[in-house]
Structure 1
């Protein structure tokens, strides 16, 4: 079955090919990369919590999911404005609320 172009003129087959892991990549490489990124995010978040800048009830894995999710909007028209808005909302939600201890 031949692939049909989507509304942006791209073929679904090409999109699926790009979404597959690179040839020669492995689950171990993915796991190691994910662990390193999550560790880095954890360190940054710990420093922000210690400085009283963000809440302490957000897991680094949740932060990574939110950031990765924002990346999926890149295929949409006007994606930059949408991502900036999502980042603003997300950061507002991370901040300590009035009355919470610093």
Structure 2
């Protein structure tokens, strides 16, 4: 999600959004997924971020969050980490998340 698309989450429904990196496509956020998430989700209520970056996926696919807690704590990112605004995008990032401008993608 590009930062200017984040306000659309209320119209779409936070419960319908699941983050994905689009790896290995060049428009994907890898290897800067954490930075991309920080760019998009800094300032968004933590409950909504938690839902969009993992909670909704867990609900849809029936993941056992209690069983995944230890792995999530080890690998991250944490919702608190994503709340920290990104001050400068990585110089070699190709994802539209880091692009300036406000075009909205429509498929």
- What TM-score, normalized to structure 2? 0.23
For the pair shown, which has the larger CA radius of gyration, 1 or 2?
Answer: 1
Q: Which has the higher helix share?
A: 1
Q: Which has the higher contact order (CA 8 A, sep 6+)?
A: 2
